[in-house]
Structure 1
Amino acid sequence: MNADVHTSVTRIANLEERSYRVQKRHRDRWATGDYVFARVTQRPDPDVSIENQRGRRVKLMEGETLVGALGSRRATRELVGDWRAVEDDGDLSVMTGGGVLGRVTSSSPFSQTPVELEYEGHVVVDDEVVRMDDHGLTAEPTDWETPVVLVLGTSMSTGKTMSGRVLTRVLVEEGYDVAACKLTGAGTYGDVLSIGVAGAEPIYDFVDAGLPTTVLPEETFRDAIKPILDSLQDADVIIAEIGASPLEPYNGMAALDLLDEQVAFTVLCASDPYAVVGLEEACDCPPDLVTGIATNTTAGIDLLDQLTDCAALNLQEVAAKEPLRELLTDALPE
């Protein structure tokens, strides 16, 4: 039995190309990262889509089947949910575009209506449930010496991925060999793929580490993420994105701690100027550059000039490219 759609969280196990069985398991035997097979129970809204294994967006129809992974999400502007909240009826929702599955317990008016599913069973190969953490990236431990351009935000949806793409293009044009990673969040494959399109190679995110999202114990997160950082050290510079805000329960602070000695330049994507002040005080991580929604207008940039000592640029404007280039090349080794 094969699903109609294998979501992007299945890419590390390449389930689309493998033979597997579907086996129901009692709720007390479920675990984070289990791959499960489910059927769409009602026609989704026309604007709702999910990513397939290659990161392409697909619209689902009622009755179609998919494979995703059990996980948790704690989004401030979209969905909150957890596989542990699933009841005996087996009703599930697609909580991220990448295929993280669970029961939604809270939602924002900004969020799309999630795809509703009925659990049919776990994905089984050779009588064993297929789990994400069995397919996480491995690497030989190495010294972490490559400089990092850190991209973080005051919240989700502040322009981090777009900023990462612009940063990558500028650095590639300057002759740097750029690698990229998204270390925390509950995002989609498209986020890191877009940075790859800008010229970064290799590119990884937390899914490559075997994690559906990074809402999980800190020790588990640290152990899973280290091979990603080990795998990027041959580059000249690493673009590292922290999903959402480091203050949210995605282990952003743990990621900052792991990267601390490598960070050469910090870009903060802010929802508004006052949020910059709040994050500076809460995290003790003053940025070298502020961008994102807070810089969409000259009024926002003027207010940032009043409230902070940070440079501020609207990276969506062509005129920002040259000052950005100067800031980055001054901060990075030649």
Structure 2
Amino acid sequence: MKRRYFFSSLTRISGLSETPFSVEPLARRHWETGDYVVGEVASSPGGAARVELPSGRMVEVVEGDLVVGAFGVRYATLEAVGGWQNIGFDRRMEALTSAGLFGRSTSRSTLLPALLTLDYRGHATRGGEKVTMRTSVPPVPERGFAIPTVLLVGTSMSAGKTTTAKVVIRLLREAGLSCVGAKLTGAGRYRDILAMGDAGAEHILDFVDAGLPSTVVPESEYRGALRGLLSRIAATEADVLVAEVGASPLEPYNGQAAIEELGEHVRCTILSASDPYAVTGVISAFGKRPDLVTGLATSTRAGTELVRKLSGIPALNVLDRESFPQIRTILDRTLALREVALS
């Protein structure tokens, strides 16, 4: 009986689900970041675990199922750290994200449920050649990037960046502007940019579209991939880019490099903070002051008042619709929205 494959969302650029491929175990010296590989579920927490499909839908997998993902590295402050380089001689690996980023954890939060465990069964190949994320990206004509950008950064992961992005996109769309929603750094997970599309972004892109399972790669490799991604974004000719830098700019996801590549096109910077005191820490370490603070730190009036007291920066709870007029004012001032709308 032909066995069924579950294709994780990292395969969405590969065509693996539509085009036949072979599974060939390769010697470790041939393994690299971004290789598409097949793992057989060895154990799943609670008898079942969920994998994110190319559509963004979550599906349960159980022991014996075959899952197609990609080798990568994750360095999450609140969840798990690890990568494919840590896979041992037993070739047992874990899904470091539900999107199919495969590796072996070296550090994991005690608050995180057990990771989905898989046994390496081989690389996806066609014509005897590895199928990889980088080779799955079509050539992109180089194009100068000059789209006004709202940059979303955080004090850590899960600080509220994507929630803020959705509100910003909705307000920009209400102003009659076309938007691109993009996640420029982080570890692959499709649902974040899908949420931006649900909020009204006409185009959604992330580093997976540039051939990276996560952005924990050498800086030179990341910058090359990002420039191709920015060319694709420029080709949309959207009025505004709402760009999220996953985790925080100071973590090893190349957030600082992303901000440098965007350069003068960043018109508005919004910091999502997990704690009021973290705001001053990021400002001190990063050397830049945001135009607005949002996130978990602004959940109550006590939080917003403390942020303002510590930093002197406006702090707003984006889940409170009464804050929308103030957010509109900040976007109008920093982006010169009337000029953009008339151009």
TM-score range, shorter chain: over 0.9
Q: Secondary structure at the match of 2:46?
A: coil
CA 1:133–1:285 in 2, change beyond 3 Å: closer, same or farther? same
CA distance in 2, matches of 1:58, 1:146: 37
Partner of 1:66: 67
Q: Which sits farther off after the overlay, 92-101 or 104-113? A: 104-113
Asked whether the equivalents of residues 92 and 103 of structure 1 are also in contact (C-alpha less than 8 Å), the reply is: yes
Q: How many residues align?
A: 334
Bigger mean CA offset, 141-150 vs 74-83: 141-150
Distance in 1, Cα, partners of 2:131 & 2:224:
20
1:126-168 CA-to-partner distances (Å, cap 9, x unmatched) read: 1111000112254222222210000000000001111111110
Q: State the SS of the aligned residue for 1:325.
A: helix
Q: Deviations over 1:13-53 (max 9, x none)?
A: 02111100100111121110000011001233368422011
- The answer for unaligned runs of 5 or more in structure 2 is 339-343
Query: 5 Å matches for 1:77-226?
Result: 77-136=78-137, 138-226=139-227
**Residue number in structure 2 paired with 1:294:** 297
Q: Percent identity?
A: 43
Contact 1:136/1:224, CA 8 A, preserved across alignment: no
- Per the alignment, do residues 3 and 84 of structure 1 end up closer, same or farther by CA in structure 2, a change over 3 Å counting? farther
Q: What is the CA–CA distance in structure 2 between the aligned matches of 1:107 and 1:249, rounded to whole Å?
A: 17
Contact 2:188–2:208 (CA under 8 A) maintained in structure 1: no
In 2, Cα distance between the equivalents of 1:178 and 1:100? 28
2-structure distance, mates of 1:178, 1:160: 17
The residue identity in structure 1 corresponding to 2:272 is C
Deviations 1:266-324 (A, max 9, x none): 11000111111011111112100000010001111110111112111000111111211
- Partner SS state of residue 241, structure 1: strand
| Structure 1 residues without counterparts, runs of 5 or longer | none
The AA in structure 1 aligned to 2:171 is: V
Give the one of 236, 239, 246 matched to 1:243. Answer: 246
Shift of 1:187: 3.8
Corresponding position of 1:28: 29
Distance 1:50 1:112 in 2: 14
- State the shift of 1:259 in Å: 1.0
CA contact (8 A) 1:289 1:312 kept: yes
SS at match of 1:244: coil
What secondary structure is seen at the aligned counterpart in 2 of 1:320?
helix
Amino acid at match of 1:241: E
Q: Aligned equivalents of 1:85 and 1:326: distance in 2?
A: 48
| TM-score for the superposition, normalised by structure 1 | 0.97
Instruction: Give, in whole Å, the separation in 2 of the partners of 1:151 and 1:69.
Output: 27
Residue 268 of structure 1: which of 246, 262, 271 is its match? 271
Structure 1 residue aligned with 2:56: 55
Q: Supply the distance in 2 between the matched residues of 1:276 and 1:46 (Cα, whole angstroms).
A: 41
TM superposition score normalised by structure 2 = 0.95
The root-mean-square deviation of aligned C-alpha atoms, in Å, is 1.3
Aligned: 1:316 with 2:306: no
Contact 1:44 1:61 survives alignment (8 Å): no
For the residue of structure 2 that corresponds to 1:16, the secondary structure is coil
Distance 2:168 2:15 in 1: 31
In structure 2, the residue corresponding to 1:264 is in which secondary structure? strand
8 Å CA contact 2:44–2:115 kept in 1: the answer is no
1:254 aligns with 2:244: no
Residue type of the alignment partner of 2:246: G
Q: CA deviation at 1:100?
A: 0.3
